Amino acid sequence: MPGKAYLGDLRFLQLPLGYIVGRVAVARLLLPRYFEGDSLTAYEVLGRRFGPGVKRLTLLLFLVTRSLADGLRLYLTALPLQKLTGMPLPAAVAVMALVTVVYTFVGGMKAVVWTDVVQFFLYVGGGVLAVAVACGDLDGGLGGLLARAGDAGKLRLFDLSAALDSGDTLWVGLIGGAFITLASHGADQLMVQRYLCARSQRQAAVALVASGVVVLLQFALFLLLGLALWSWFGAHPPAAALTKGDEVVPLFIVTRLTAIPGAVGVILGALFAVSMSTLSSSLNASAAALVNDHLRPSIGKEWDDARALRATKCATLLFCAIQAACGLVGGRFAGSVVDAVLQIASFTTGVTLGLFFLARAAPRASGRAAFVAALVGLAAMVAIACAKPIGGRAIHGLWYSCIGSTITLGVGVAAAAVLPRGRRDDAAPPPPLPPGRSEGG
């Protein structure tokens, strides 16, 4: 995040405005569906509505997306560890993956949530410390920094242009950000597992909407750090010009913070907390989804809790290895990890979100119609990502979730009007009975 302000300005702060809009929509439209019945994953909800084929397809999309995106996060966090210790990058990635998988493996979801609480305060405190150190070295402190940044045009916050190839406009922030949040917080097991840990739907909704405000403040803090490092490196030029924003914070740690006793430990702890809080949730969500949505239904035998727990732990180790491999390969090709992660999430989760919309908009849509809609939506997103349809300029990845969900919904509605519902097993099962009710009651 600091790299966005270091190389640019504050326009990235438009994106969390859309995040808040999206969270309100999730709380009103999608959250109630997860508190119906006894589902453990987002894909069980789609499976009850559209059948096992759609459930397995959306599960596959989730697992691929999570492995790629969180592998890049793992790579990003290993960079400062590599610079400070001199260890090879693969070893740094392996260390970060090992530490994260240990407490996820042993403690499960409870360990994930409580560790996230500690990590939140740690990384916010680390961000505040880094800003204080950088501003303390600058002429005029924070006020001088803001004056220089204003003169350089780096305090620009809003961009009202309609360029679809830019990720820094107000419209992509509000609309694209809202759809990304609808997909990531409404149709992604990483967040759904958290809602199901809440005491009630109301508690989950309050936490969800409030987190949008917290994210906005976090974005502001770390973009401010980017401005501070822009000014700091202007006064203390590095030996080689910085061309990738992801390199700014690790270089500041090595160049400046090593001279302050304890500061490196705090900042490194903060950086590791950012990554590990997401990685632990991702490992837990991926393992739970694979076991509950694929292995148990496919094997067809009744599993006791002990056997399911053993399978989930093995799946946790498997996804840890996959994410480490994705980080080593993908990180070398990503110009900006922040942009790459957002584009990966937007690419596939928009299709899943479109299926949720289809379930609400077309009650008679069959599993066949939903499956066709998902395949067409994916094919369309591949074509859009590979083409440059607007005057030779590609559509920015922050629009992908909006486009993908819209195409999937449109194709699904059209397919529902053409395709028959098919046999009985293609129809959606009846909704679960309310707690305490019986067939006769």
Cα distances (Å, whole numbers) of residue 302 to 125, 210, 284, 298:
47, 40, 22, 11
pLDDT at 119 over 90: no
Highest-confidence segment of 60-64, 185-189, 197-201, 410-414: 410-414
pLDDT of residue 336: 64
pLDDT, tens digit (0-9, with 9 covering 90-100), for 218-275 = 999 999 999 999 999 988 888 877 777 878 888 888 888 888 888 888 877 877 777 7
Q: Give the chain's radius of gyration (CA, Å).
A: 23
Cβ burial, residue 6 (10 Å; 0-12/13-18/19+): buried
pLDDT of residue 116: 80
pLDDT of residue 294: 80
Query: Which has more pLDDT, 96 or 425?
Result: 96
User: Mean pLDDT over all residues of the chain?
Assistant: 83
Structure tokens at 186: 């409404």
Can you tell me the mean pLDDT for 413-441? 54
Can you tell me the mean pLDDT for 77-84? 80
Cα distances (Å, whole numbers) of residue 155 to 148, 226, 281, 329:
10, 11, 34, 35
The percentage of the chain sitting over the pLDDT mark of 70, rounded to a whole number, equals 89
Q: Which residues contact 176 (CB under 8 A, 6 or more apart)?
A: 15, 18, 167, 346, 396, 398, 399, 401, 402
Query: Which has more pLDDT, 251 or 340?
Result: 251
CB-CB contact of 277 with 115 (8 Å):
yes
pLDDT of residue 388: 59
Question: Residue 137: CA atoms inside 13 Å, Cβ hemisphere, count?
Answer: 20
Cβ atoms within 10 Å of 123's Cβ, excluding its own: 24
Query: Which has more pLDDT, 291 or 432?
Result: 291
The percentage of the chain sitting over the pLDDT mark of 90, rounded to a whole number, equals 31
pLDDT at 437 over 70: no
pLDDT, tens digit (0-9, with 9 covering 90-100), for 225-241 = 999 999 999 888 888 77
pLDDT at 299 over 50: yes
pLDDT at 87 over 50: yes
pLDDT of residue 435: 42
Structure tokens at 32: 């109630």
Instruction: Please give the Cα distance from 70 to 48 (Å, whole number).
Output: 28
- Reported as a pLDDT band with limits 50, 70 and 90, residue 60 is confident
Highest-confidence segment of 46-50, 101-105, 110-114, 366-370: 366-370
pLDDT of residue 175: 95
- Reported as a pLDDT band with limits 50, 70 and 90, residue 425 is very low
pLDDT of residue 424: 40
Q: Which residues contact 165 (CB under 8 A, 6 or more apart)?
A: 390, 393, 394, 395, 396
pTM confidence score: 0.76
Structure tokens at 68: 């790629």
CATH hierarchy code of domain 2-334: 1.20.1730.10
Query: Which has more pLDDT, 394 or 150?
Result: 150
Domain boundary assignment for the chain:
2-334
pLDDT of residue 431: 42
3-state secondary structure (DSSP) of residue 393:
strand
pLDDT of residue 1: 85
pLDDT, tens digit (0-9, with 9 covering 90-100), for 158-217 = 999 988 888 889 999 999 999 989 988 888 777 888 888 888 999 999 999 999 999 999
Highest-confidence segment of 91-105, 178-192, 218-232, 381-395: 218-232
Angle between helices 367-386 and 400-418 (to 10 degrees): 140
CB-CB contact of 164 with 399 (8 Å):
yes
Query: Which has more pLDDT, 211 or 425?
Result: 211
pLDDT of residue 201: 92
3-state helix, strand, coil in the chain (%, to 5): 75, 0, 25
pLDDT at 26 over 90: yes
